[in-house]
A and B are shown apart, each in its own frame.
Chain A
Amino acid sequence: MMRYVPMMVTCKEAHGFLDDYLAGELPTKQRIVFDWHIKMCNCCKQYLDTYQQSIALCRDNFYDSEEDCEDIPEQIVQGIVAAKRTGGD
């Protein structure tokens, strides 16, 4: 729909800007082009939204501060202390 107009990029080209855009590292001119594309193109707008959501989802759900707060088995403690004694200094 917008591919022959100057200052416009295709979805594929806009897609290539995604990560720099999210990192705030897209040069001004490209950012304007990207913003414009996102405003006009529902597919890419939706893609950008879910792309961001999935990054946040990974960040927030990979660890689990409650579940990951376990006691260390005694034999592992002893193994490490022994390894330090023999290997270390």
Chain B
Amino acid sequence: MDGWRQNAYAEVDESELVRKIVEGDEAGFEYLVRRFGGRMLAVARRITGNEADAQDCLQEALLKSYSNIGQFQGRSGLNTWLHRIVVNVSLMRLRSQKRAREDSLDPLLPDFDGHGMRVGDAPIAGVEEIEEMYEQGRTRAAVRAAIERLPNDYRAIVIARDIEQLNTSETAQLLGISTSLVKTRLHRARAALKRLLDPVEI
């Protein structure tokens, strides 16, 4: 597509762009891909953790948004609408792929004695790297490394609940699991993240 023709879409407001795409304007769809695709790809990469899956998810999300564009209400911006779609697709992908080796969360969970009193945490492997990132001021890297350590099922729930701020039933519906499973897994995941991100012992 010619650059100047694509640039012409920058002048068009979102509802007009959507209307054109609904009417089958191919260049309009191409503009949408160009305008929002980069950010969507970055989101898919953050969630799936790898480039190949991220590109697949981006494509699936954009094709899905094309099929459903007639349902775009304009209540939220196009950016937000597309973000939600790529998040959903990426979380489903994350859930469906089992990793070869998944560490148990148990060593990261808090301990209580026979009377239900808190006892100090035992040292765990791998926390030093995260601590080091912290000390170097690489907070984002530390946070991502901690989240990356969670098994996929747990990671998907943390992303849905704590990062995307979906509520429990939205998360349950999206991931196709019960609300009580969302709650127990979220709790375990949060406790593990707290442990990984707060190396100071209680």
Residue of B whose beta carbon sits closest to that of A56: B162
A63 to B157, CA, bound (A): 16
Q: Could you jot down 9 A-B contacts, CB within 8 Å?
A: A11-B117, A54-B194, A55-B190, A57-B197, A58-B158, A62-B147, A70-B41, A76-B37, A76-B55
A69 to B38, CA, bound (A): 6
> Assuming A46-B202, A58-B143, A62-B144, is B190 touching A19 (CB within 8 A)?
yes
Would you call B67 and A88 a contact (CB within 8 A)? yes
Q: Give the interface SS of chain B, mostly helix, strand, loop or mixed.
A: helix
**A7 is an interface residue with CB less than 8 A from chain B:** no
Would you call B63 and A69 a contact (CB within 8 A)? no
Chain B residues at the A interface, C-beta cutoff of 8 Å: 26, 29-30, 33-34, 37-39, 41-43, 46, 55, 58-59, 62-63, 66-67, 110, 112, 115-118, 139-140, 142-144, 146-147, 158-159, 162-163, 165, 168, 183, 186-187, 190-191, 193-194, 197-198, 200, 202
Would you call A55 and B110 a contact (CB within 8 A)? no
Would you call B38 and A72 a contact (CB within 8 A)? yes
Of A53, A61, A80, which one neighbours B63 at CB under 8 angstroms? A80
Would you call A63 and B115 a contact (CB within 8 A)? no
A13 to B112, CA, bound (A): 10
Would you call A11 and B116 a contact (CB within 8 A)? yes
Query: By CB atoms of chain B within 10 A, which of A19, A70, A72, A88 has the most?
Result: A72
Of A61, A79, A88, which one neighbours B143 at CB under 8 angstroms? A61
A50 to B202, CA, bound (A): 10
Residue of B whose beta carbon sits closest to that of A20: B183
Residue of A whose beta carbon sits closest to that of B140: A61
